[in-house]
Amino acid sequence: MRGSLEEVVEKLRRSTVQVIVDQRGGGSGILWNADGIIVTNAHVIESVGSWDSLLVQFSNGLRVPATIERRDGNSDLAFIRVQSGAVPGGCGPAPLGDASRLRVGELVVAVGSPLGFTGAVSSGVVHRLSGKSNVSEGFHNQPWIISQLRLAPGNSGGPLANAEGQVVGVNTMVADGLAFSIPTHVVEQARRHSERVWTA
């Protein structure tokens, strides 16, 4: 099991980026598909003032510019894009899992850039699955995966994965010592229906 979990973590790291806003680490992101789409949280990029101020850093340290393609403030999700040819070899999208198949007590793994430490990993178990939130930060009507794992500033937008390495959620916030993640089916809905950001 140890070897397989290490392999899962390494693959997740190669699918995870650091989102850099105005030369500062803003949060994390997930390479979502081969077209260069990266999913992150809308609050991670809310301070972007110009297209030149947004970068992503891949697991090998390469930094490339990105543009905002879509955002959905209701779900706190954003979709940014890099040129597909800019994705370095060895990095690629992680397989997506079915969040509805998660069970309480199941092992989950998070990867991100907490406090600027790129590719940091934490693990824990699913605490509960919720149809809506009762926390004060908002997004009350949104489903959540709520886990007992340690997240810190910079983890926002990074992947939550099951033990097989399938991404089942996007890590978003911490409340009452628990990690809240947006399930992948909500991400897919937002990707199809969120507001498109038009650039010149």
* pLDDT digit string, tens, across residues 148-162: 999 988 999 999 999
- Does the annotation count 43 as an active-site position? yes
Number of domains in the chain: 2
Co-location of 14 and 69 in the same domain: yes
Return the number of other C-beta atoms located less than 10 Å from residue 1's C-beta. Answer: 7
Read off the pLDDT of residues 71-130 as tens digits, 9 standing for 90 and up.
998 899 999 999 878 999 999 998 999 999 999 999 999 999 988 788 899 999 999 998
CATH of the domain at 156: 2.40.10.10
What region does 31 belong to: left with phi over 0, alpha with psi -120 to 50, or beta?
beta
Marked catalytic residue, from 15, 28, 76, 133: 76
Q: Is there a domain that residue 42 lies in?
A: yes
| 3-class SS of residue 92 | coil
Q: Which is the catalytic residue, given 43, 72, 147, 194?
A: 43
Q: Does the annotation count 176 as an active-site position? A: no
Q: What is the pTM of this model?
A: 0.89
With b meaning 16 or more CB within 10 Å and e meaning fewer, what string describes 130-139?
eeebebeeeb
Q: Is 127 a catalytic residue?
A: no
Does some domain include residue 173? yes
Among residues 15, 113, 156, 181, the one annotated as catalytic is: 156
